Amino acid sequence: MDTTQILWKIYEYEKEIEKLKNRKEFLEANKNLEELSEGLNEKKYDITNFKTQLEVDNMKIKRLNHKLKEINFQIKDTNSRLYSGDISNVKKLTKLQKEEADLKQEKEKLENEILELMENVETNTKDLYNSEKTYEQLETKYKNSEKDNINKLNDIKEQIKELENKIEELKSSLEDEILSKYETLKTKKSKPISKLDDDKCTGCHMSIASIVVSKVKKGKEVVYCDNCGRILYYEEDNN
Ligand SMILES: [Zn+2]
């Protein structure tokens, strides 16, 4: 490899490292994990709500059932007084009949309330079950994602290290002066070395004098673009 080929290789490896570093940064920000974590929190909130609602409804049902028992007892009592034959006073009888009717109405109201609550409990139990299932799935996804992230990050770190080693090796074969020129160019331009495309510098798109082009093609020395100052590189199989 001649000097410009080595410089080009260094440049390509550096570009690759940059891409890997961007990917690494993205993974470290854990965007997908963040979203999953938000989803988990939402589900956790739902689960707590369903559980609280179920507790409240079950308590209400218990209380209403207790009340219903009392009313049933009262109805039985009124009934036995009504049909015992002990009461002959019409006014008293009418009063008792009214009492019985009121109690029966109250009973029906209670039974309807209980029924409605039981329906709520059924729905909430289903919703709770589904939420818990979704939560479990999300949790598994989160854990896998976390593991996957760590593996990917380790892989990237290794790739970066390998590339850095390759760059070091290539740099050690270059003269200090050329290397420092390359480094200086790199601080000024994101692309310190540019390919020749026919007689054009792909860095600044200006035409290069044919005498310079032939110098670049020979590859015996490092040639700079007159216009932008970049190192010029010629790739033989470049069409
Ligand atoms: Zn140029």
Report pLDDT digits (tens) over 161-211.
Answer: 999 999 999 999 999 999 999 999 999 988 999 999 989 999 999 999 999
pLDDT at 153 over 50: yes
pLDDT the model gives residue 130: 97
- CA of 210 from ligand 1 middle (Å) equals 14
* Ligand 1 (single-atom ion) residues, CB below 5 Å: 201, 203-204, 225, 227-228, 230
CA 193 centroid distance within chain: 39
- CA of 197 from ligand 1 middle (Å) equals 11
**For residues 115 and 103, what is the distance between their CA atoms, to the nearest angstrom?**
18
Burial profile 102-122: b = 16 or more Cβ within 10 angstroms, e = fewer: ebeeebeebeeebeebeebbe
Q: Mapping DSSP to helix (H, G, I), strand (E, B) and coil, where does residue 107 land?
A: helix
pLDDT at 102 over 50: yes
Partnered with residue 196 across adjacent β-strands are 201
Residue pLDDT, tens place only, 60-96 = 999 999 999 999 999 999 999 988 888 888 898 999 9
- CA of 226 from ligand 1 middle (Å) equals 7
pLDDT the model gives residue 32: 81
**For residues 147 and 220, what is the distance between their CA atoms, to the nearest angstrom?**
50
- Please, which residues have CB within 8 angstroms of residue 67's CB and are 6 or more apart in sequence? 110
pLDDT at 143 over 60: yes
Q: Mapping DSSP to helix (H, G, I), strand (E, B) and coil, where does residue 236 land?
A: coil
- CA of 182 from ligand 1 middle (Å) equals 14
- CA of 238 from ligand 1 middle (Å) equals 18
Tokens 């550096």 found at: 14
Confidence of residue 1 (pLDDT cuts 50, 70, 90): confident
Q: What is the token pair recorded at 25? A: 């940064």
- Please, which residues have CB within 8 angstroms of residue 133's CB and are 6 or more apart in sequence? none
Tokens 């939402």 found at: 42
Residues 6-19, mean pLDDT to the nearest whole number: 97
Q: What is the CA radius of gyration of the chain?
A: 42
pLDDT at 133 over 60: yes
Phi, psi (degrees; rounded to nearest 5) at 152: -60, -45
Confidence of residue 219 (pLDDT cuts 50, 70, 90): confident
Domains and CATH numbers, the chain: 3-172 (1.10.287.1490), 176-233 (no CATH)
pLDDT at 238 over 50: no
